[in-house]
Structure 1
Amino acid sequence: MSQFRQNPVTKQWVLIAPSRSKRPEDFRTYSVGFGLPDHDPACIFCPGNEHKNPDLCEDVCRVPNDKNWQLRVIMNKYSALENATIYRNRQFYHSQAGYGEHEVIISRKHNEPPALQSAVLVQQSLKMFQDRIKEIYKDPKINYVQVFHNHGRDAGASLIHPHYQILATPMVPPHIHDEMRGCYHHYQLTGHCIYCDIIKEETKLRDRIVYEDEYFIVMSAYASRSPFETWIIPKRHHARFEATSDIELLHLSHVLKKVLGSLYLKLSDPPLNFYIHTMPKSNDKHLIQEQKSYHWHLTVFPRLTIWAGFEYATGIPVNPMSPEMTAEFLRGEKS
């Protein structure tokens, strides 16, 4: 039976229409990286190929800082943002310069996406995210830093070599504003963090929980916009990912690897995005108050459906599979 569901944080509606789908395994796709070598002589991201593109030779940093690096951070040659003077147009149409930072974090092996990487390397990547967020926030013009990963061309990856991206903007993006507004409204009404309340509700119901440990809970989102949309939420309340403790990062590396590995195996390496939502940087008094209500989290979003006329016309995503069914499938209770 079809059902409209509302995201409890952003208030976005989605339409869950399971009658339009078959089984979870029907979403298996082609393998994004099947048959790739460890090293591709033609790939500009592979070790030793830096000379193929001089614009990519200069590092921001490496881990470790030598030729045997496992992670390498560079500025994006095809940056969506520029380090330019900010201007604003306050006439009828508003605009401002595309000021910001755009970095790429490259992992070493050409054929090893995060789903196949060691937990140690995933943890190093998470630590690098923290370090780069803290460093970029030293720019007083930057108010938000977005970390994300595109895997597969259908998820927006222009290069197949595994890498993450960081975009920093002078304004807080609208979707983050929507989340913060929803969190703050719930906090004003109840005195509770809405993500903490979601954890309590999902723990009680159990049918959408995929996995949990001492520090994190993994769930198929109640109002999933697409099949297998998965939320990873820390059990300890904190507004900022960059303030996550080392022990939490250790557990997060195993949890993220488990989620990505499960999708890789059960859906044949699907195209996907994952991204971290964290509290914006601001000295604004209102935002400082909102730190009590906001709760950082990570979303894994397989790209398994295509928006059509209804979705674009209404802004209501149509999801052909219930999150209860996808959670059951990911738990291994249904194959």
Structure 2
Amino acid sequence: MASHKSKKRKTGDANGANHAILDTSRPSAVFVPTKGRPHTLSIALPGSIIANAVTPEQKTALAGQIARACAVFCVDEIIVFNDGQALIRPPERDGYTAFADPNFFLYHVLTFLETPPHLRRTLFPMHADLKLAGALPSLDLPHHLRSDEWCPYREAVTVRQTEDGDGVPGTLLDCGLADRVFVPVLLEQGTRVTVQLGDQASSGSKFIAGEAVSPDAPREEAGYYWGYSVRQSSSLSTVFTESPYDGGYDVSLGTSERGIPVREILQPDNDAFVAPTWQHLLIVLGGVAGLEAAFSADVELKKAGVSEARELFDAWVNLVPAQGSRTIRTEEALWIALANTRSLVEARDAGQ
């Protein structure tokens, strides 16, 4: 029998020369803005999907999968709506809501994951809902900046009110940098703020000058993807009626296996084609029982005279025609929906 020999990979060639070190970095993975972006992409899905996960670990992991999909595809807004398919009751004694109110639990975990890590300890007190969230894969969003990275915008938390060297009243902010940032406006302590930074502090400067701006400013002014906002909706109808955008969503897509193939909205010669002129695109996913069940549970829609769920949407699409599995889980449908509609977003980006 031959003697055992080490199977470590050799670092040199036959002549003993070392190969050049390969650059395995992925520059395409670093978000680089080009110009301001006025349009937005929103996703709505029911919190009842959390109720179908059995253990706390599975419930938290499900929320993490949703957050990852939205981060990868640059979703600007997530709406968690109540589709009437999960029983809501008061939280458990320690405040845990995954079994009591899955809508709030999903909202809570999604909001936590979107928040830059250096802000979480201040903005999120210890809570049973978030006990397992720290073990989820990082979203690594463009505004989750390291302390040695410079960006003209940052997310910050207010530290205390003070004055600058000239006696101007304002607020000190923690932006995750070595130096504090000063904005000339009085803000309540412990508040999250989007800030636009001035020049980097010199060795003799006390603070970095900054300006408190709208959370939409990094996207609208510079074109950054700046994470997603999260809101809760009490029903399917309030997904639309409580939109934060002026005029609401100008294009909405409902998903159902009884819809038209999704490819039809991508074909310019088709009547269902979605032209790249929209401002606010909304994609709505159903839970285990589909959007039809959410529609049936919505009293306000019945009062408004809406006869079926598809009437709410500009297009009623089937994400996977001739699917092999009897069911497609919502977290799977989310990835499929965002991948299939990516060309709509790219076309809109090109037409800015």
TM-score, normalised to structure 1, is: 0.23
* Superposition TM-score, scaled by structure 2 size: 0.22
